[in-house]
Structures are given as structure tokens and as C-alpha cells.
Amino acid sequence: MASVSSAEPSRLRTLGRLIGFLRPYRLSLIASIVLAVGSQAAGMAIPWLTGVVIDEAIPDEDAGRLILLVALVAGLGTAKAALMVGRRFIAGRQSLGVEFDIRGALYGRLLRLSYRFFDRHQTGQLMSRATVDLQNVRFFLGYGLIFLTQHVLTVVGVTALLFVIDWLLALIALAITPVLVAVAWRYSHVSHPVLRDVQQRLADMTTVAEESIVGINVVKAFAQERRQEARFRERTEAIFHQSLRATRQQALYMPLLSFLPLLAQAAVLLVGARLVIDGRLTLGSFVAFNVYLLMLVFPLRMLGMWIGQIQRAAASGERIFEILDEPEEIRERPGAQPLQPGRGRVVFEDVTFGYDPERPVLRGIDLEIEAGKVVALIGHTGSGKTTLTALVPRFYDPQAGRVLVDGTDVRELALASLRRAIGVVSQDPFLFSTTVAENIAFGVAGATDAEIEQAARLAQAHEFVAALPEGYETVIGERGITLSGGQRQRIAIARALVLDPRILVLDDATASVDATTESRIRLALREVMRGRTTLIIAHRLSTISLADEIVVLDHGRVAARGTAAELRDTSPLYREIEDHGLVAVGLAPEEFEVSA
Amino acid sequence: MKVHQPGQYGRHVRPSVDDWSWGRTTRRVAVLVRLARPYRLRVVGGVSALLAATAATLAPPILVKIAIDRGIRDSDLELVAWVVAAFLVAGAVGWAAGLAQTYLTSWVGERVLADLRETVFRHLGRLSLGYFERNRTGAVISRLTNDIEALDQLVTEGLTSLVQNTLVLVGSAAILLVLDWRLALATLAVFPLMTVATAIFRRRSTRAYRRVRERLAAVTASLQEDIAGMRVVQAFAREDRSGERFRDVNDRYRAANYETVVLNGLYFPFVDFLASTATAVVLGFGGYLVFDGSLTIGVLFAFIGYLANFFDPVQQLSQLYNTFLAAVAALDKIIDVLEEEPEIDDRAEAAALPRVEGRVRFEHVRFGYGDGPEVLHELDLDVPAGTTVALVGHTGAGKSTIAKLLARFYDPREGRITIDGHDLRDVTQESLRRQLGIVPQEGFLFSGTIRDNIAFGRPDASREDVVAAATAVGAHEFVTRLPGGYEHEVGERGGRLSLGQRQLVAFARALLADPRLLVLDEATSSVDIATERRIEGALRRLLAKRTAFVIAHRLSTIRQADLIVVLEHGRIVEQGTHEELLARGGRYLALYGDWATAVA
């Protein structure tokens, strides 16, 4: 992972790249800046006219002039409002567009990143980039740039006008501005880490809340309610104390930021009054000057804030680009061919692979699996069973050697055609919170109801699915009904079967199913494995019994292969497993009928 | 084991935020008042500071007016100097009062929220398991997180902003009227227009923002799920369709957001337009009044100054409205939780359960979840002390329900459950559960160290006790190999340990608590052979010398049980030892056939 360096040049480059997202919106950006300038100009003209009213129309008691000037003020006000409407519509659309684009780009990139990337990054981390970081960037690109331009223009324009009215008074008034900007920037700078820390403590509190509620039965069973309360209180108090730090900063800076401009106003009042009395400044100009000064306060304060905001956007931008720049590890070669028809012969040729290249999990595996055969992979945890199967659908590429499906190196094949030919059922299958039907049809866009039901029947899932409140249309998961582990497994099997895959990869798929269901699934599997090449990662004898051949893996190498009878003589590891299975059965089970 | 029937009842309709009936409103206010009462001195201090700060912000325009009308016109520089001094004093007062007000009100706000969080958590701890099965976990957690954060905005900033803006609004209007009532009335003529515009804006933007929130939630949910399930998406080559789906969700969010852009884009310029109009009125009508000498230039200036004061608060208040609505909705949900009565509560005369031998009897027990159908029918079961009972049967037969009744997570509808002759309803829950250990299927752990987890039921256990328990269940070996050993952090819900390791730690936790009664929901999850063996050994240690109810999946456990109870549809259909039941040739034999083929 790229180290998070905060060198300024890289920040600037990030900002430059972020601004690149605005390219499609060039015209609208220009339009909104023009509109903003227009409405600012109209706004700035009003105090000027006020000065003219006081200096010319009123002393001359010139009603006609007064009416004209007032009409002008009203007209400018209307123009200003109209320009603002246009600016808001255009800038708003653009801001939302940029947000849409970046979020889409992030998602698009995530779709193409490999398993290895998701092994390294937790969902929560990735989520915070797509939400919090995106929010910061969006704020900068959407509103920030426009407001910044608007505020800079206001400051420049008003400053110019102040100098036009009276340069001495202007100098006095503006003496305070560097301090104001500096204080505002300082506040934004010191408050940010504290506020981020508050967020962190909130996350800590959420963890305890979640655990206590998800594990409420454990808490209650051990009568530990009071202890969890104490833990929770500790986290809550941590939030309180950190929030208090933020409060102290706020109390220190915010009222100060309101006070500083008053100093300028006071100085202007003192010196300006003298100038008016001496006749070096008209009363109207004095009033206009004061109104302009008020117009300056808000943009100056915001300027300081924006500096902080931009720094934050740059930091967030860096984190977003970390994902956008992440290389696609597994990608199709140009001109990759679709998988040719075949029966599913899988060959591993001298395959070496490690999640960390320094520590290989598979070391020089040579293995040929004949088409249509069922092969059970066994071995201790960490022997490389799951890893080996993950190379077939090209979830990872080997460091050395190659994997062939029906004679073609998987790296030469179009990814989608390869993966559609392989049905994967993992140990703890992930289902989406949508209907059962959609989950089963996940891999096949136009699967018919009949196909879905057929797959469910084969996977022994039809019976329980039909008993759900809305059958196949029942929503499951977070927003629906909770299924048991065994039920989820059977839906995952059905999901793989809908593909009608030529190769099946089952990771001890019957692990959390009760014995009766398991025996049913096993019968079903026997049926569905017919005519397909199947790799089963097995932990128990019952699963092993389904296989034509058994491959024993040990520390990333093939330790033995053969039928059960052969291995009983040659492989101590196999014997260990078999003994264990038989121990569990105890007496020879011949006396029982297979009832399922 | 989560079945879905408990979710079917007990959902009541939440009152809407528009419900401002007397009862609702007083309940809402009462909760807040009760929370703030301990800090009333600070509240009083904060409010006084707020008043002072508001007064200070209102001062400058009128001071400038005095400088113009009296100082400049009469060429009285001394007076100007005094005004400037007053100006600075007002500024300093504003500064000091602002500092005090910000600190005090935020302090009280944060304190109240912390107290509320703790109160809600404590109350949740008292609620029965039924509550947690009826309500989605995420929703319950939201009460402690999102809902309190929604209140946060209101309590720490919203209320002060509300008071301050209202005071500025009313104060400015009052000052304008005092300065010159004719000009004030003419200027404030725009006010009705603004009220109407604000009312329309408020209503429509409430709806629009609600839609934005809903659709943002959809974006977040779909991101969350797709990232978590990205491996599946890729394994099934679903990238294109998932991408399309996401574009759709993303676009719907954009569309909803654009509505708010349109609303804001019309409303805020309109308010600005009204402000310009008001300025024009001040200049026109005011200038005319100055002609005949009934108005001074200074008053004209003050009017322009106060107009800015006048329009800002209106905009701020209308933005505050959404915060306010969200906070009220959150408060209502929190009140609902606090008003939820625990279904299982200790009786007033409940006594502590003395140390038991462990004879358990279910006598004519009938039970169903909530108002749902009966799931246990007229159950009778007599378990002598020290017996290991294996509960077997299909999913939904009532195995887990029996375990929950024994732990008194629920009370039976009819009949009673006794331990050594004590009806569970006559003893305190704490004393019952201190003698009862539960090992859930998934081996649920808490974040913290291995040691914390093993000592969960007996926080005062010595390190030696912890190590002894771990050794007894065969966990010591893997624990010492972990970085930090017993001080190894297991991560959120024990996520850094494997399933098998979690299970062993959960066994050690139960063993250390040394319960007289043990309920074990046996896992069927796959672990490697070495671990499987260790777990079997650990189980044997755990079950010895106590009464144990095992929801059994492993044949080895079932065979070793002293008593096997076969359940079907909430009834006991057979009971006896393994041999007896096999000899009988009934349901158990059929079930056993399945197991035997499963391992053969």
C-alpha cells in the first residue's frame, strides 16, 4: 500500500487530478463562475448606490433622482437574485454530476480489482473512502471551487472599492484581514484532527454497542450486563471528553472570529468620522464604506476555512486515487479468446503461489484432473486446498507455472467465459439481500423460473424455499428473513448449479447442515457432479466418499493421490482422517438402512 | 439459532413527527428536561451568556447610528471616541459571552447525550431476549448510534441557534420599530411574503431531504453489500450487471438530490431578492422621510445594518427545521425503547437461587413466542442432577426453545420449570444465570484479549485460573502460539481467530465460570481434524460433573449422553439412552441412519 505522505507537491498534484474530474463540466463551470461574478457585481453596486443616495439625492432633495436610484437598486437586486438562481441550478447539477462520476469510477474500479485487493482491505475501510472521502472531495469540487472563486472575487472587488473610496481608511480596515484569515485557517487546522478523533471514538462506542447487542444472549447467559455497561460507559465518556476538547476549541476561536472584524469597524468609525468632519470624505461614502466592510467579513472568514477544506479534500483525494490507481492485477489479455467447448479437464503445471510471494502456499504443484472426475482435496488447515481451487477461476494468478482448463492457459481466456464455466460454492457462502430467486439466478441474467426451481430442487433447497412466506420471492438477509447456515449453503449450491458449469468447486459445502439434510445433499451432489469435473475440499469422510480420487495436500505440495483403498496403505494423513471418521461412527453402520 | 417466527408480532406503528398532541409533546420535553436537570446551573449560565451575546451582536448598527447622527453631524469627535469605546466594549462582551455560551451549552449538550446513551444501554441490558429477537439488530444499534447523533445536532447547536436566531429576529424588528415605526412597517411589508415562501420551502424540502436520505441509504447499503460480496460478483462474472445496478441506484440518489438543489436554488435567491427589495424600500421611503427632516441619515444606516441581521436568521431557521425534524423522530424512537417494559423481570419477592445440585424439571410446559403459535406442547421432562441430556430432532422441533426457557430468556405460557425444586420465576435472574453457562453455536467472542474473553463470566479470575481453564479444554497450546499469548487481541467479535479457536475459547469461558448447569448449542461448523479432536476432548471435560443440555449435532456427543431426548414439532417423542432408543427402532433409529451415512 502506498504510504500516506503529505508532501506538498503530491498534494498539489492530487488537487490537479481532482480538478481533472471537472473536465466534462468545463462549460457549466465557466457559466456558473460568470453568473457568480455577475451576481456579486450586482450585489456590490448596491452599497455604492446607497452612498450616492445619501450624498446626492438626499441633500439636493431630488425626488426624481431618488426614485431612479431606488429603481436601480431594486433592479440590481432582482438581477442578482436571478443570476443566483441560474448559478445554483448550474453549479448544483455539476456538483452532483461530479459526485456521481467519482462514485461510479470508484465502484467500477472495485469491480475490476482482484481477490488479493479485497484480502488486503476491509469492507469498512473501502466504504469510508466511498462515503466520507468522497464527501470531502465532492464538497471541494462541487461547491468549494465556486464559493472560493466567488469569495476571492468579493474580497478583491470590495478591497478595490474600499481603496477607491478612501485609501487611508482602506489600509486601516484591511490591516486586520491577515489576522482574520490566519485565525480562521488555524481553527480549521487544529479542529480537524480533534473532530476526526471524535469520529474514531464514536466508532469505538459503536463496536461495543454492536457486540453487546449481537451477543446479548452471551451477556445475559453469563449475567454480565453490568460489566458491559461499564465498558460502554467508558467508551461514552471517551466521546464526551473528546467532544469537550472540540467544544473548547470552538469556544476559543468562533467568538474571536466574530470579534476581530469589529476592531476594523471600530477603527474605521474613529478615523472615518474624523475624515467626514474634516470634509475629506462624504457621509454617503462613509456609509458605503461601512456596508462594504460588512460584506468583507464573511468571505474572509470562509477563506480561512476553505484552506482547511482544500487540505482535507487533497488528503481524501489521495485516498480515493489510491483505489483508482490500484493496478488491475487479474486482467484479460488483449485478444483473449472465449473458452472453447470441452469437458473440463484441469491441469496444474508446476504451480507456485503465495498470497505473500515470499511465503508460498503452493510449491510446484503438478496435478492433472481428468474431465468428469470428482476429486477430493484433503489436508490440514493451511495446506493450500482452498488456494489451489482459487487458481482455476483465476481469482489469483500463480507466480510460476500455469493452470490449464481444457488445454488452454487460463490467462489466455476471456475472464467471463472462464468464470461462467466454473461453479463455486464457498465454505461460508455470501448471499445478497434480495429475493431467493434472484440469489439463485445470480450468475445467469435470463434464468427462467423453471431453471431456478430445477437448480433449487437439485440442491435440496426447493422444499424449504417453498415453505418461506413468499416462496422464491422471499427477501433474505439484512432486509429480510434470516436463513440458517445449512439453508444458505443449499442456496449457494443452487446458485452454482444454475450456471450448468463444466467445473464445480465445492469448499466443504455441506459443513453446517444437519445430518439428515446432508445425506440428502450428498445424494443430490452425486447427481449434479455427473458429467462435470468436481473439486471438493473435504473435511470429513462422508464428503470424501463422493470422490473418484483423493488428493492429499501437505504444506503446499501433493503428498499423495489415489483411491481411498490405495491411500489407506500409503498416506498416514489419510489414515488419520479415516480413523477419526470411523471413531465417530463407532459400531459398523451396516445394520442401518440408508433412509434418506 | 434464529427462526423467523418471533419477528412476526409486536411491531407497532411509530407515531409520526407531526404528532404534536399534548401527551406526545410533554413526553418528549419531559425526557429532555429530566436529562438536563442535574446540570441546571450550567444551563442557566449558558442561557444568560446567550442573552448577553445576542444583545452584543445587536449593538453595532445602533452605535454607528449615534456616531453619524450626533458625532459626525455635530462634529463632536469626543462623542465618536466614546461610541467607538462602547463599540469595543460591546465587541468584548460579545466575545466573552460567546465563549462562555459556546462552552457551557455544548458541555451540557454533550453531557446529556452521554447520559442518554448510557441510560438507553442500561435499559437495553434489562430487556428480555424476546425484544432483541423481535427487533432487527441493526435497528437496535441505531438507537445508540445514529439516533443519538441526530439528537446531537439539535442539542449542542440547534437549540442555541434556534434561541439566538429568534432573539436576533425579534430584537432587530423591535429596534427597527423603535427607531422609526413608519419605515419599519414599510420595510417589514416583505415579511408576509417571506413567511409564505419559507412555509412552502420548509414543507417541500422536508420531503425532498427525506428522499435524499433514503436514497443515500440505498447507495450506502448497495456499496456495503457489493464490496462485501465482491468475490461472489467476480466469481459469477456479474461485474456488468452489478455495475448497471449501482449506476441506477447512484443516479436515483443524484435525481433526489437535484430536487433539493432546485428548492434551495429558488428559495435562497428569493430571500435575497426580498432583502434587496427591503433595502430599496429603506432607501426610497427613508430618503423621502429624510427630505422632510423626520428621519436622520444615521437611522437610515442603522436600518440597512439591521436588515442584514433580519434576513440571515430566517435562512438559518429554515435550515434548522430539517435538523429539528430528524431529531424529533430520533427522540421518539429512543423514547419507545425507554418505555419498553422487560417481559422477564425479577419478582419483588424473588430470592437468590442457592447453589444447586442441578435437578431440572419441566412440568406441563406450554410455550410460544409472543402471540405466535404454540411451539412447545405440554412438555414434561425430568433430568437428574449431573446428567448430560442430548436434545435431538429436526430444525424447528423446539430444541433451542427448551434451552432458552431453561435460561429464563422466556417464561412458559403454562406449567413451570424448576431447578432443585425452585421455580425459575421465584429466583433472581442474576443468581440463576451465575450458575448457568451457555456455549452458543458460533462461539461468540467480544473484542478484547483472550484472557478477557475467558474470564468473561468471572472477571476477577486470576491468570492461573484462566490458563488452567484454557489448558483443560486444550486451548492453551494455540493461545501461547499467538502473538502476545493470553493478551492477544481477538478483534471485533473475535474475528482474528478461526472458528475452531473461537469455539475453544468459548469452552474455556464456560469452564472457568464453572456453572452448575450448562447449555451447549453444538456447532457443526467445519474445523480441521486436529481441532475437531481437541474440541471433543474439551467437551468431555466441560460436561463432566454438571447437568448439561446439549443441542446435539455430533454423533459422538449423542452417544455419550446419559439421556437422549428426541423432539418432533414441540413434543418429546422418545427418550432414553442410545442403546435403549436403538433397540426401540423408532424415530431415533431413522435419525441415526442419517448420521451413520453422514460419517461413513
Q: In chain A, what percentage of residues exceed pLDDT 90?
A: 34
Show the cell assigned to A18.
481532482
389-408 in chain A: CB under 8 A from chain B:
393, 395
Contact list, B595 vs chain A (CB under 8 Å): 515
Show the cell assigned to B99.
465563549
Mean local confidence (pLDDT), B487-504: 78
- Please tell me the predicted confidence (pLDDT) of residue B458: 84
Mean local confidence (pLDDT), B548-563: 82
For residue A373, pLDDT over 80 is answered with: yes
Query: H or E element: which one contains A506?
Result: strand A503-507
> Touching check for B181 and chain A: CB below 8 Å?
no
**Whole-number Å distance between alpha carbons of A580 and B157:** 66
Domains and CATH numbers, chain B: 25-338 (1.20.1560.10), 358-435+517-531+547-600 (3.40.50.300), 446-514 (3.40.50.300)
Predicted-complex ipTM score: 0.82
Contact: B84, A69; criterion CB under 8 Å? no
At A58-113, the pLDDT tens digits run 888 888 899 999 999 999 999 999 999 999 999 889 889 998 999 999 999 998 88
The rounded radius of gyration (Å) of the Cα atoms in chain A is 36
- Whether B504 and B473 have beta carbons less than 8 Å apart is answered as yes
Contact: B276, A74; criterion CB under 8 Å? yes
Burial degree of B114 (CB within 10 A; 0-12, 13-18, 19+): buried
In this structure, the dihedral spanned by the alpha carbons of residues B288, B289, B291 and B292, taken in order and rounded to 10 degrees, is 130
Nearest to A110 by CA among A121, A100, A97, A98: A121
Instruction: List, edge to edge, every strand of the sheet that includes B388-392.
Output: B436-439, B517-521, B547-551, B388-392, B563-568, B571-576
DSSP β-bridge partners for residue A503: A422, A533
- Whether B506 and B519 have beta carbons less than 8 Å apart is answered as no
> Touching check for B492 and chain A: CB below 8 Å?
yes
- Please tell me the predicted confidence (pLDDT) of residue B422: 92
- Please tell me the predicted confidence (pLDDT) of residue A515: 66
- Please tell me the predicted confidence (pLDDT) of residue A120: 77
CB atoms within 10 A of CB B339: 10
Nearest to B432 by CA among B358, B522, B366, B367: B358
Contact: A577, B440; criterion CB under 8 Å? no
Helix ranges restricted to H, A357-428? 385-390, 415-420
- Please tell me the predicted confidence (pLDDT) of residue B228: 79
Helix ranges restricted to H, B340-485? 399-406, 429-434, 450-454, 463-472, 476-481
At B38-88, the pLDDT tens digits run 999 999 999 999 999 999 988 888 898 898 888 888 888 899 999 999 989
Contact list, B283 vs chain A (CB under 8 Å): 49-50, 53, 66, 69-70, 73
**Predicted confidence band of residue A591 (pLDDT cuts 50, 70, 90):** very low
Mean local confidence (pLDDT), B471-494: 84
A430-500 classified as CATH 3.40.50.300: yes
Contact list, B60 vs chain A (CB under 8 Å): 262, 265
For residue A584, pLDDT over 50 is answered with: no
Contact: A70, B68; criterion CB under 8 Å? no
Among A222, A239, A474, A478, the residue to mutate for chain B (most B Cβ within 10 A): A222
**Whole-number Å distance between alpha carbons of A559 and A554:** 6
Contact: B279, A46; criterion CB under 8 Å? yes
- Whether A324 and A129 have beta carbons less than 8 Å apart is answered as no
- Please tell me the predicted confidence (pLDDT) of residue A1: 35
- Whether A85 and B266 have beta carbons less than 8 Å apart is answered as yes
Nearest to B551 by CA among B438, B407, B399: B399
* Region class of A7: left (phi > 0), else alpha (psi between -120 and 50), else beta: beta
For residue B194, pLDDT over 90 is answered with: no
At B100-149, the pLDDT tens digits run 999 999 999 999 999 999 999 999 988 888 888 777 777 788 888 888 88
- Whether A276 and B72 have beta carbons less than 8 Å apart is answered as yes
Question: Is-same-fold flag (A25-324; A339-421+502-596)?
Answer: no
Say how many residues make up chain A.
596
- Please tell me the predicted confidence (pLDDT) of residue B6: 34
**Whole-number Å distance between alpha carbons of B219 and B231:** 19
Helix ranges restricted to H, B292-348? 297-339
Nearest to B402 by CA among B383, B421, B422, B384: B383
> Mean of the per-residue pLDDT values for chain B?
85
**Whole-number Å distance between alpha carbons of B591 and B573:** 13
**Whole-number Å distance between alpha carbons of B549 and B564:** 10
Query: H or E element: which one contains A425?
Result: strand A422-425
> Touching check for B594 and chain A: CB below 8 Å?
yes
- Whether A526 and A542 have beta carbons less than 8 Å apart is answered as no
CB atoms within 10 A of CB A437: 19
- Whether A168 and A268 have beta carbons less than 8 Å apart is answered as no
At A111-129, the pLDDT tens digits run 888 888 887 777 777 887 8
The gap between the terminal CA atoms of chain B, to the nearest Å, is 27
**Predicted confidence band of residue A397 (pLDDT cuts 50, 70, 90):** very high
At A417-474, the pLDDT tens digits run 999 899 988 877 788 888 999 999 988 888 899 999 999 998 888 988 998 888 999 9
Instruction: List, edge to edge, every strand of the sheet that includes B374-383.
Output: B374-383, B360-368, B414-419, B422-423
CB contacts < 8 Å between A and B, how many?
451
Question: Residue A239: which of B84, B87, B114 has the nearest Cβ?
Answer: B114
Q: How far is B20 from chain A (nearest CA, A)?
A: 31
At B516-550, the pLDDT tens digits run 898 887 765 555 666 667 777 778 888 888 899 98
Mean local confidence (pLDDT), A354-379: 89
Contact: A263, B91; criterion CB under 8 Å? yes
Mean local confidence (pLDDT), A200-223: 82
Nearest to B547 by CA among B400, B416, B302, B355: B355
- Please tell me the predicted confidence (pLDDT) of residue A588: 29
Mean local confidence (pLDDT), B263-290: 91
Which residue of chain B has the CA closest to A250?
B102
- Please tell me the predicted confidence (pLDDT) of residue B528: 60
Q: Which amino acid is at B55?
A: A
For residue A4, pLDDT over 80 is answered with: no
- Please tell me the predicted confidence (pLDDT) of residue A121: 79
What is the CATH number that goes with domain A339-421+502-596?
Answer: 3.40.50.300
Question: Residue A247: which of B107, B407, B509 has the nearest Cβ?
Answer: B107
239-268 in chain B: CB under 8 A from chain A:
239, 241-243, 246-247, 250-251, 253-254, 257-258, 261-262, 264-266, 268
- Please tell me the predicted confidence (pLDDT) of residue B595: 65
355-414 in chain B: CB under 8 A from chain A:
394-395, 407, 409
Mean local confidence (pLDDT), A348-361: 89
Contact: A250, B106; criterion CB under 8 Å? yes
**Predicted confidence band of residue A480 (pLDDT cuts 50, 70, 90):** low
At B572-588, the pLDDT tens digits run 998 998 888 888 888 88
For residue A402, pLDDT over 70 is answered with: yes
Contact: B145, A236; criterion CB under 8 Å? no
Q: In chain B, what percentage of residues exceed pLDDT 90?
A: 29
Contact: B526, A88; criterion CB under 8 Å? no
Show the cell assigned to A41.
457585481
Superfamily name with CATH number, domain A25-324 = ABC transporter type 1, transmembrane domain (1.20.1560.10)
Q: How far is B23 from chain A (nearest CA, A)?
A: 31
Query: H or E element: which one contains B135?
Result: none
Answer with the residue of higher pLDDT: B156 or A228: A228
Contact: A596, B533; criterion CB under 8 Å? no
- Please tell me the predicted confidence (pLDDT) of residue B543: 84
Contact: B395, A514; criterion CB under 8 Å? yes
At A253-280, the pLDDT tens digits run 988 988 888 899 899 989 999 999 998 9
DSSP β-bridge partners for residue B374: B368
Question: Residue B277: which of A61, A77, A287 has the nearest Cβ?
Answer: A77
Sequence-separated contacts (24+) of B2-7 with Cβ below 8 Å: B2/A482, B2/A484, B2/B133, B3/B396, B3/B400, B4/A481, B4/A482, B5/B369, B5/B372, B5/B373, B5/B375, B6/B130, B6/B133, B6/B134, B6/B369, B6/B370, B6/B372, B7/A481, B7/B133, B7/B134
- Please tell me the predicted confidence (pLDDT) of residue A538: 79
Answer with the residue of higher pLDDT: B459 or B366: B366
- Please tell me the predicted confidence (pLDDT) of residue B4: 33
Across A100-104, B205-209, B269-273, least confident range: B205-209
**Whole-number Å distance between alpha carbons of A441 and A437:** 6
Nearest to B257 by CA among A19, A47, A96, A522: A96
Domain range list for chain A: 25-324, 339-421+502-596, 430-500
Answer with the residue of higher pLDDT: A269 or B8: A269
Question: Residue A81: which of B228, B242, B273 has the nearest Cβ?
Answer: B273
